[in-house]
Amino acid sequence: MQRIKVAVIGASGYTGMELLRLLLMHPHAELSCVTSRQYAGQPLSEVFPRFAQVEGSDLPFIEPDAQGVKESGASLAFLALPHGVAAEYAKALLALGIKVIDLSADFRLNDPAVYEEFYGDTHPAPELLSEAVYGMPELPGRSQAITTADLVASPGCYPTSIILPLVPLLAKGLIEAQSIVTCSMSGVSGAGKTSNQLFSYCEANESVRAYGAPKHRHLSEIEQELSLAAGAQVRMSFTPHLVPAHNGICTTSSALSSASIEEITEALESAYSDCDFVRLLGPNKMADTKNVTRTNFIDIGWALDERTGRVLLFSAEDNLGKGAASQAVQSFNLMCELETTSGLQNL
């Protein structure tokens, strides 16, 4: 089978590097273009020595330019760019007939007013929102929509860890939608490459702290997808925490419920028993980040607190993997009619 030529725009960040790792090893993908203003002219192997002697690692970075991507022969481009910047490249690439998987927040939200509320800027391309498919393949009907999409909005890391455990219970009315409380812990790579002192080694090491409360930006897409599942507007409390680890997200969500543990188990198994990358741990089992880092798996466990009448949902994923790069590759596989697991089974 001829390899599919792909581009990574903004390939020098943590997510970009993970995308490169996955695509260089993908049996059906060929990197034809990688961009970075900072490293233009330098080969991948020089910027990322870990890729030295891997086939394709001599490919040089170029300046980010839609026409350059087109000339490379790429039929699909991954955008590993900040929100607000990605949309302009998406517009230009789509106009040239290149499919786009955007890992920023620019196309995750259906309502441009919500984007402006949470991101503080007018949406840069509201005319494309109706075309974008929210790229979480395990959600009902989403896999097929991704298969036929030209523009996929790859979900955020926190939302993936929160939405997947909650959606089956909301869809079946097993929890009170307005009672959801979620706390998540993320490794420092979730902040990306930044000069912000708060994310430096000396500040983050041997310390755990909350941040982004009470209105973290990811709440916008979390509430959007949970509301779709519930068939009504969902408002929830979400508090993220920074932990001294490179990558990984551990999330605990709870909600009032009168369901039995058997009903909760049945809802989750019905939703995910056939999903390649959702691992259901079972009742009274806790998810652990060490089991999911550098994979595309999300592990989910659950418990029923009969004393308080709340169901507890535990999930773990890699924020750079299932929360970003590998989930985007999962969408790539669907868009190109490849096996869903292609290039994503290395543990």
| 120: enclosing H helix or E strand | none
Asked if the model's pLDDT at residue 180 lies above 60, the reply is yes
Domains and CATH numbers, the chain: 4-154+324-335 (3.40.50.720), 157-317 (3.30.360.10)
Asked if the model's pLDDT at residue 143 lies above 60, the reply is yes
User: Between 191 and 4, where is the model more confident?
Assistant: 4
Per-residue pLDDT tens over the stretch 205-217: 888 999 999 999 9
Mean pLDDT over all residues of the chain?
95
Tell me which amino acid residue 208 is. Answer: V
What confidence score (pLDDT) does residue 113 get?
A: 97
Tell me which amino acid residue 284 is. Answer: N
Residues 257-274 have a mean pLDDT of 97
Work out the widest C-alpha separation in the chain, in whole angstroms: 63
Per-residue pLDDT tens over the stretch 278-329: 999 999 999 999 999 999 999 999 999 999 999 999 999 999 999 999 999 9
Residues 148-166 have a mean pLDDT of 98
Name the packing angle between helices 112-119 and 219-230 (round to 10°). 140
* CA-CA-CA-CA dihedral for 8, 74, 336, 293, to nearest 10: -20
d(CA 63, CA 66): 10
Asked if the model's pLDDT at residue 272 lies above 90, the reply is yes
Band (86; pLDDT cuts 50, 70, 90): very high
Band (191; pLDDT cuts 50, 70, 90): low
> Which residues, in sequence order, are bridge partners of residue 7?
33, 77
Band (110; pLDDT cuts 50, 70, 90): very high
Check: pTM over 0.85? Answer yes or no. Answer: yes
Residue positions annotated with a catalytic role: 157
- DSSP result, 233-260: ----EEEEEE-SSSS-EEEEEEEE----
What b/e string do you get for 208-229 counting C-beta neighbours within 10 Å, with b at 16 or more? eeeebeeebbbbbbbbbbbebb
User: In this prediction, what percent of the chain has a pLDDT beyond 90?
Assistant: 90
What confidence score (pLDDT) does residue 158 get?
A: 97
Q: Is 72 left (phi over 0), alpha (psi -120 to 50) or beta?
A: alpha
Per-residue pLDDT tens over the stretch 235-253: 999 999 999 998 999 999 9
**How distant, in Å, are the alpha carbons of 33, 49, 199, 286, 298 from that of 246?**
27, 19, 11, 21, 17
> Which residues, in sequence order, are bridge partners of residue 35?
9, 62
